[in-house]
Structure 1
Amino acid sequence: MTNIVLLKNPSIPTDPYDIKFSSENYTPRFIPLLTHGHVDKQSTIAYLQSREFSQVGIFIITSQRAVEILRECIDELDESTKVEIFKKTGYTVGPATFKILREVGFSDVRGGEDAGNGAKLAGIVMEDVQDKSEPMIFFTGEIRKDIIPRALIGQGYNLSERVIYKTSGRDDVVEKFNTVKNQGGWLVFFSPQGTETFVDYLKEGQNRQKWKIASIGPTTETYLLENGITPEVVAAKPAPNSLFDAIVKIDNSIENVCSF
């Protein structure tokens, strides 16, 4: 079994990367980088029950953490309010967040695997929504890129933002990595956020011996390269199957060389 350390908080209730790699002769281990929490849970619940939100037919949400925070708030609503909320159209980035939104109860979810980043998602929204005056809400965190708001508002769309969660970095990332450091395997970076101290630690060559580096996408790859770390692989899409395909290709090539 090959170790694969996933530098991310595991998705709740199940994590698709854990499921994929556990079934493929790998041993996944999570090292959470961030802690997440509500900015103001009662305020978010009140908004979901408000007349203002009842008039919004489209929402955008791009973070798994934002979806989890949203789900916790929806769980506290009465059934009739939930029914109305689940009728709304949701736009999201990546297959994992798409899947979680469907599990929450939304039936009309768009983007997902077809939207690998914010720019692509904004393009999909603009193709779908012909009436620019239609109100839309972007559920987001305190720290976020402005690609989607800039694109949509810049084109005259009626988009508002609501910050529903906050994020802070953990100070035990290096400590947790040291418990498995000598075992070797794969280190997977999913985002630059929260990795600054850990990246500095890896720059000391002996700390990444026995470990190969994987990036979930080009943005994270650029961040790693700028910090002097060259990943062995970059997933073609931010999805479990794509990441697995990239990693197993390298592992199989190494096994073939060693067999001669």
Structure 2
Amino acid sequence: MATPARTPILLLKTRSSPHDGYDDFFTGNGYKPSFIPVLEHRFNNQSLAEVRELFASGAFNQNNGEAQATATATARSTQDNKEKKYGGMIFTSQRAVEGFANMIEEKGLPYASSIPLILYTVGPATARTLTTLRDKYLPLATIYGADAGNGENLAHMILQHYNSIYTVKKEKEEEEEEEAEEEEGHSKPALLFLVGDQRRDIIPKTLMGSSLASKERITVEEVVVYETGEMESFEGDFKDSVSDYTDMNGGEGEGEGETWVVVFSPSGCEGMLRVLKLGLFTPGDCDGEAGKKRKIFIATIGPTTRDHLRNKFGFEPDVCAEKPSPEGVAEGIRKFRESRSKA
């Protein structure tokens, strides 16, 4: 019996290293994944060296004999907490994790094996990459937030989780110490947020928001560890990949069935639509018979990219993943196929 053909799926992202969760998942579930990088990432080695120096200088309090507080541990004194500048790190992109990992691979990380860090992360893909790094270099670290889904959800999870760890005053002490706290700053260590040059500020704004009580605010210090720009070769690379599966002039390509394109960010959307002649670039009626006969379908990783396609290009993607994960994309495709078969 012939082996069923795998469905081509073009992932508009750089393949993550050392492994990619999307590649692993789709390869094992009847798809033929291909990666077409949209963005070019350049690591900021100077900033990464500064992060390394923070570990070497004791900013994460690795020389303190106490283990890091846990959610069930008793509160520390204000003075004990002031000895530690940072209580954890935030990662919301795999590029930030990769830059951090590259720095460790090349330069090492002082005292890494003895530092009980909290590592906050925004989604399962980044969490998997971070777990590989943790298991190899930071065995005492804990990872939290893998199911957050987006930065806003993660910020609220951090507020609850981190504040539950660093409860440094008993209720009866709060009134008499309130004035001192306002003058001296927060009594809990800050969080170090490794970011790219293009990022939303929802996490710092939420954690340091003026609407929060002073004792609930969490200081966030951002370090830009990579810069991002759209690759000049993307549109041509994407056109070549699409041509492998379908002839752009109406003939037959390698693939006989459907082909999926998964879009991970607003970057590259215009080039993608131009190549596929969709949205503003569609000659004729994209909602008529031509649309029904279309063999290339578009899925977005979440609502931000979907809304960008809608609002700027007048294009409605076929699928918007409910969760930003391989499983979320696959479930969206499954539902789309099911509804299409009933139409």
Name the SS of the counterpart of 2:316 in structure 1.
coil
**Does structure 1 retain, via aligned residues, the 8 Å contact 2:91–2:121?**
yes
Q: Does 1:160 align with 2:221?
A: yes
Deviations 1:202-230 (A, max 9, x none): 44226995311101111111111112121
Distance 1:79 1:51 in 2: 12
Return the letter of the residue paired with 2:187.
S
Which has the higher Rg, Structure 1 or Structure 2?
2
TM-score, length-normalised on structure 1?
A: 0.88
Letter of the aligned partner of 1:61 in structure 2?
F
Q: Is the contact made by 2:92 and 2:122 (CA closer than 8 Å) also made in structure 1?
A: yes
Unaligned runs of 5+ in 1: none
Aligned residue type for 1:4: I
Aligned counterpart, 2:297: 212
1:51 corresponds to: 58
**1:32-78: per-residue Cα shift (whole Å, max 9, x none)?**
01111221243343334233344312111100100000111122444
Instruction: Call closer, same or farther: CA 1:47–1:12 in 2, change over 3 Å.
Output: same
1:75 is paired with a residue whose SS is: helix
Residues 60/7 of structure 1: CA separation in 2 closer, same or farther (3 Å cut): same
**SS of the residue 1:186 aligns to:** strand
1:222 and 2:296 matched: no
Match of 1:249 in 2: 335
SS in 2 for 1:128: helix
Instruction: Tell me the distance in 1 between the aligned counterparts of 2:191 and 2:31.
Output: 42
Corresponding residue pairs, total: 255
Q: Distance in 2 between matches of 1:235 and 1:101?
A: 22
Counterpart-to-counterpart distance in 1, 2:241 and 2:124: 29
Q: In the superposition, relative to structure 1, how do residues 133 and 224 fare at CA in structure 2: closer, same or farther (>3 Å)? A: farther
Given that 2:238 and 2:272 are in contact with CA atoms closer than 8 Å, whether structure 1 keeps it comes out as no
1:13 maps to a residue whose letter is P
Q: Conserved in 2, the CA contact under 8 Å of 1:233 and 1:246?
A: yes
Find the counterpart in structure 1 of residue 144 from structure 2: 110
Deviation of 1:251 (Å):
3.4
Identity %: 35
Of the structure 1 ranges 240-249 and 38-47, higher mean CA displacement relative to structure 2 is found in 38-47
User: What's the counterpart of residue 127 of structure 2?
Assistant: 98
Report the alpha carbon displacement of residue 133 of structure 1 after superposing the two structures with TM.
3.2
Which of 107, 121, 143 is the equivalent residue of 2:154?
121
1:34 aligns with 2:39: yes
SS at match of 2:193: strand
Q: CA RMSD in A?
A: 2.4
C-alpha contact (below 8 Å) 1:33/1:195 kept by paired residues: no
Q: Choose the corresponding residue for 1:172, options 200, 209, 233.
A: 233
- Given that 2:234 and 2:268 are in contact with CA atoms closer than 8 Å, whether structure 1 keeps it comes out as no
The alpha-carbon deviation at position 200 of structure 1 amounts to 4.7
Residue of structure 2 equivalent to 1:70: 100
User: Which range moves more in the overlay, 212-221 or 132-141?
Assistant: 132-141
Distance 1:240 1:38 in 2: 26
State how far apart, in whole Å, the 1-side matches of 2:130 and 2:40 are.
Answer: 21
Does structure 1 residue 231 correspond to structure 2 residue 305?
no
C-alpha spacing 1:234/1:111, structure 2 compared with 1 (3 Å): same
Contact 1:91 1:110 in 2 (8 A): yes
| Secondary structure at the counterpart of residue 10 of structure 1 | coil
Report which stretch shifted further, 132-141 or 25-34: 132-141
Q: Distance in 2 between matches of 1:193 and 1:152?
A: 28
Corresponding letter in the other structure for 2:33: P
User: Partner of 2:262: helix, strand, or coil?
Assistant: strand
2:65 alignment partner in structure 1: none
Q: Whose strand fraction is larger, Structure 1's or Structure 2's? A: 1
CA distance in 1, matches of 2:342, 2:310: 27
